[in-house]
Each structure stands twice: as C-alpha cells, then as structure tokens.
Chains A and B, each alone.
Chain A
Amino acid sequence: MSLPEEQKEVIIEQKMKQFITFVKKEFYHVFRDRKTLLMLFGLPVVQIVLFGFALTNEIKNTKVVILDYAKDEASGSIINKIEASSYFEIEHSLLSHEEIERAFKQGTIKLAIVFPVNFNNDLLHLNKSQIQIIADASDPNTANTLISFTTSIISDYQKELMQINALPYLIIPKIRMLYNPELKGAPNFVPGVMALVLTLICVMMTSVAIVKEKEKGTMEILLVSPFKPILVILSKAIPYLLISFVNVSVILLLSVFILDMPINGSIVLLFAESTLLIITALSLGLFISTVTDSQQTAMMLSMMGMMLPTTLFSGFMFPIENMPVALQLISNIVPAKWYYIIVKSIMIKGLGFSGVWKETLILTAMTVFLMIISLKKFKTRLE
C-alpha cells in the first residue's frame, strides 16, 4: 500500500516537527540542570589545565647544583651552556660532596654535576676526562630525561673541541626527536584528554539521560504514543553531540593558544574523526541504558566501564607496548585507544586520511556493532 505523495509529505513534516520538539526538550533538560552543565563544560578545561600545568612531566627550569673543583676553561664553558639552556636553572654552586647530599635531601634540586680537579688538563692531555652527574632517581623518567639532556650538552661541547683538534674516525650520533623536538608533554596528553572527555561525557550523559526517562516513568508515556523509540534515542544524542563539538573546539583552542601546540593536520578531518568517536560513545551509552534501570547504576557503569579503561588503555598515560600481551589485547577493544592514535597522527604528525584509515575503519566497525545490539536490545515495552 503506497500513500499518495501529498500524504507522505504531511507525515514527514509531522515527524520532523516531533523530532525538533523532542530535541528542544532535551536542550531544556541539559541547560536547566546547572550542575551537570558546569561539569560538561568545566571538565575539559580543568583537565587541560591540570595536565598542562600541574601533572606535567615536562622538563623545564629544573634546579641543578654544580660542584666545580676544576674551575678551569672547560668546566666554565660547560656550566655556561647548562645555564643557557631553558631546561636547567643553576641553583647555586657548592664547595664539597657533603653539600650535594644535603641539597638533594632538601628536595629542591633534581641534578648535581661535579667537575673533578684538573678537568681541562686531563681532557687536553690525556684526551679523556670525567664528569660526575648525580640525578634524583626517585622519579626515574625525569631522571633519565635530565641525564640525557645533560649528556647532550656535554657532547655538544665535545664536538666544539673536536672541530679545533680534528681527530679522525669519529662517529657522531645525530639524534632528532621527531614531531616533538622539545619533548613537550602537550602532544601526548591533548589527544588523550580529548579521548577521555569525549568518551566520558557522551557515554555517561546519554546513558543517564535515557535511564532517567525510565526511572521517572516518562518512558511509559513516550512508549504509549505514536513517537518512534528510535527517535527518542536520536534526539537524546543530538544535544550531546553539539556539546561535544564545543568541547573539542575548547580543547583545541586551549592547546593551541595556551600550550603552544600546533595542529599540523587538517582540522576538518580532526572534527570528522571526533564525530566518529562521539557516535561510538553515544552508542555505547545507549547500550548501557538498555541494560540498566537506575541513573546511579548507569553512572557507575559508565564511570567504571569508560573512565578506567580509557585512562589505562588509550596509551596516553601508560605506553601500551610495555603492557603484558593479555592487556595489550584488551586495549584493542577500547575505542579511545584508536581515537588517540588517530588524533596524534593528525595533530602531531600531520597525516591525512590515508594515514589513519585503518583506525577509522576499526572505530566505525565498533560503532556499527554497538548500534545494532543496542537497538536490538531497546525495549518497546516495559519488560
């Protein structure tokens, strides 16, 4: 039975009107709930600021002490080089080894450099000289980075020397830190925060929003109406989709203007991939809502089910390569992991779609899978 064109148009118009009214209603819900609204927009800003300034493991202005027994030309030039770099700040010079111990115990310094007596002499006449570098290894990552910075400063000096007294057969390793030469933390955590914020907000908010209708009994009325259940879900997703767009923009603006992090790839592609993750997260939220009946359970499930795996397995806090194989396998089912790879590739490496199509395909497959089971599980009755 096919309806006349005119009647079809009327029906479509009615459906559109229903849909728009429903979306409007969802916006009222979101904007009238001040606390949630604050969380929705505050979360990304707080995270960026936290990771950008407080929880950073970036090396900048690290305090060092210098114990210079030599006080000659060579030690002086190296000290000057260290002082000139932005990584270090020379706290003060010491006179004896005992003072080093004391300085570390006070906790203000991270590194001590000791030049022995006759440093320059040994270097020039024995072609060999030693420098002692003592690092506070209670934070091993920072200690490692500091040591490698110091070593590179010293080898810089060495090279200068060699240019003067050219020695044959010398191999000089030229290390380049690709994409992130200054070893900044931002390129690592900005994509991570984006993944975290998007999954958290979308999964939690959609699941809670749908379960709320069940809990408050309004779902009962919605079901006993001509409105299609699929539209209930769709109209709930739209406000969160828009809010997530705002959040992505805010995060990107913050990272470009406050954290000096450039976006090397295409912004359009970045937004397109973000939309994909948002849809994945929305369908996951929908799935959670079909298996829970109270807002609290939905909230707990999304928190435990999303927050933990996202922080653990997306790779932005703990490198996945270092994990046991079992955990590496588990990390593959975390959507944020793939999104994290995509965002890093686009933002930092400046890759185009051809560079991220595999990850995109995996995310798409996940989304389709989640959509299908949640729509199948969505009940058109109360039980």
Chain B
Amino acid sequence: MVQLNNISKTYNKGSTLAVDNVSFSVDKGELFGLIGPDGAGKTSIFRILTTLLLPDTGTASVTGLDIIKDYKAIRNGVGYMPGRFSLYQDLTVEENLNFFATLFNTTIRENYELIKDIYIQIEPFKTRRAGKLSGGMKQKLALCCALIHKPTVLFLDEPTTGVDAVSRKEFWEMLKRLKEQGITILVSTPYMDEATLCDRIALIQTGKILSIDTPEKIIKQFQEQLYAVKSGNMYKLLNDLKRYEYISSCYPFGEFFHVLFKNNVHNIKTEVMNYLKSKGHEQLEMHSIPPTIEDCFIKLMTH
C-alpha cells in the first residue's frame, strides 16, 4: 500500500540530514506507527509520502502510485492531517467540514457513516468557530476533514500531540474503528505508550529507522531483565547507581529509575539492595519489570 525504498532528505542545501536512507512498507488495512521524538524526521517522511516534498534520493509509492510522477493522482486519494492544526480557525466546525467535503468533490451526507462516530462528538459545537475549540475537539474535527472523502490511505502526523490523556485514548479508539473499515493508516507520535496500539511500528531517531516490527516482537527482542528502582533520595540514588560496578544503564522513568545490569551477576537484586542500603538509602524499592516500547527505544538508541 505504501512503500519507501532508501529515501533520504536533506534541508538547507544538504547541511541538515532529516531522513537517512529509510525503507519500509505498510500493508493494506494496517495501522502503522512511526514512533520517535521531535526532530526524528517523522514529518519529513509524511510530507514526502503526501507528495509535498521531493526526496533527495530513493523512491516511494502510495497505493502503487509513484510519489513524484503520479503526485496528482495520490493527492486525489489520500487523507492527510498535518501535525499543526491546519483548519480555518475563523470558519465554523460545519463550514470547515463542508469546505473540505466540496474540495474533494463529495458531501458530508455521502460519507457521513464514516465520520459519524467522531462527528457526533463535535456536532453540538458545529456553529462554533474552529479556533475556539479545545485541543481534543480540534483534532477530532481535523480527523473528520481528513476522512470526509473516504481516503484509501490516511496520513496522521502527530494527531495526539497537545491533546489530553482522555482525548488521546478516544482518538486511538477511533483509529481502530477506521482500520476495521479497511482504511490503511499511517500515524506518527512521540508518545511511546501509544506504540502498542499500532499493528506495526517503526522506531525512528535522527532520520534513521532503529527497528521495524510489531510492538510485541520489538518488546520480545529486549532480553535482559529490567528493574525499576526507587528511594527516598532519588538524586543520590542516580549517582550511587552510576557508580555501581555491575551497572549497564540507568535512566529516569516516571517516579522510578529503570536499570539494567551486566548479565553475569547472580542474585543481583539482593546485591544491589545491600549496596544501596550501605550507601544509606531509605524507603528503597526494587522490582523486576517487563520492558515497554520506551525501554526498547532507549536501548536501541544508545547502542
């Protein structure tokens, strides 16, 4: 459905490398996630696929159409929701939706079924100007506008950035329902916790793909035992852990530190607890935990 072969893209006359030899493909009906921090190159990839940017090297196709040669045909058929809220703020919800429906030679009524679940939530505010909507509402409206012409592929660039936790959850449920209708969805997000909601993900960092697989398999590749450690004095804990002779890596994660140790140590948990107690730590907590995508990302990033 979507295919990238060795795509590279630089800005500022080649001095800034944004996308570095990226190849992946997305199957029909798949919910594919591009996961990476800000500046990883997600938006550039989206813009290349939506024919807004030309790659420096490499080829890519969307629904079998070449992004350079057949750009007009691609533009007719895909749905694109840019990262920034890009609707007309001085137009009402309904006017925006009507405008984009007409733009794509369709009407709200014709594809109402497709957007119904989402639109129903913003319909009470349909006479309100888009600029006056809350962040979550804006994203829902933008999704409606991107969907109104029943696209075969939907490109969503960071749709949940700047949206509250509840709306984010709702948004992903909507994506799941859209997927069930057979729409191929490419979504990018900086939130690692959203990765598990995708069928397959590509972890991306400074323009390079670190790993592409299903979230489960990526997690499975993480074979070491991960520990979460906490104490009354977290700053001292970080310093003490870093000085510990069997430490492999240690980084803050929520209210804990996630810690990896060198493999060959027996009974590491008791050893570490004793070490930390000897350093005078109180309220110590240490659990072995399953890794998350973020742990995988950090591990891939540092190697």
Contact = CB atoms under 8 A, between A and B. Distances in A.
Given A21-B102, A217-B82, A222-B103, A383 B53 contact: yes
Interface residues of A, number: 25
Interface string A9-46: 00000100110011001001100110000000000000
Interface string B275-289: 000000000000000
Nearest to A380: B71
Closest A-B pairs by Cβ, 5 of them: A217-B86, A21-B102, A224-B80, A226-B76, A217-B84
Contact of B78 (A28, A222, A224): A224
A220 B83 CA distance: 10
Nearest to B87: A218
Contact of B54 (A22, A25, A216, A381): A381
Interface string B45-77: 001001111100000000000000001000110
Contacts of A18: 102-103, 105
A218 B103 contact: no
Given A21-B102, A220-B80, A383-B53, A226 B86 contact: no
A268 interface: no
Contact of A218 (B53, B54, B86, B98): B86
A364 to B, nearest CB: 32
A221 B105 contact: no
A382 interface: yes
Nearest to A19: B102
A73 B227 CA distance: 121
B90 interface: yes
Contacts of B104: 225-226
B153 to A, nearest CB: 11
Contacts, number: 76
B86 A33 contact: no
B91 A25 contact: yes
Interface string B95-114: 10011101111000000000
Interface in A328-383: 380-383
Nearest to A222: B103
A38 to B, nearest CB: 16
17 contacts: A18-B103, A21-B98, A21-B103, A22-B103, A28-B88, A216-B86, A217-B85, A218-B86, A220-B82, A220-B86, A221-B80, A221-B87, A221-B145, A222-B103, A224-B78, A226-B75, A380-B71
Interface-centre pick from A217, A218, A221, A225 (highest chain B CB count, 10 A): A221
A28 B53 contact: no
B75 A28 contact: no
A14 B98 CA distance: 14
Contacts of B52: 220, 223-224, 381-382
Nearest to A10: B105
B103 A224 contact: no
A244 to B, nearest CB: 22
Contacts of A220: 47, 52, 80, 82, 86
B88 A225 contact: no
A227 interface: yes
Contact of B103 (A32, A217, A226, A382): A226
Contacts of B54: 381, 383
A14 B84 contact: no
A223 B80 CA distance: 10
B108 to A, nearest CB: 12
B49 to A, nearest CB: 10
A225 B91 contact: no
A28 B47 contact: no
A187 B198 CA distance: 72
Contact of A21 (B76, B86, B90, B99): B99
Given A216-B86, A217-B86, A218-B88, A25 B99 contact: yes
A226 B105 contact: yes
A326 to B, nearest CB: 37
B288 to A, nearest CB: 46
Contacts of B80: 220-221, 224
Given A21-B99, A25-B91, 16 more contacts: A17-B102, A21-B102, A25-B88, A28-B90, A28-B91, A29-B90, A32-B90, A217-B84, A221-B80, A221-B82, A223-B52, A225-B75, A226-B104, A380-B71, A381-B52, A383-B53
A227 B102 CA distance: 10
B104 to A, nearest CB: 6
Contacts of A22: 99, 103
B131 to A, nearest CB: 10
Nearest to A13: B105
A28 B86 CA distance: 17
A367 B103 CA distance: 29
Contacts of B102: 17-18, 21
Contacts of A226: 75-76, 103-105
B75 A382 contact: no
Contacts of B76: 225-226
A16 to B, nearest CB: 11
Given A21-B99, A217-B82, A220-B80, A382 B88 contact: no
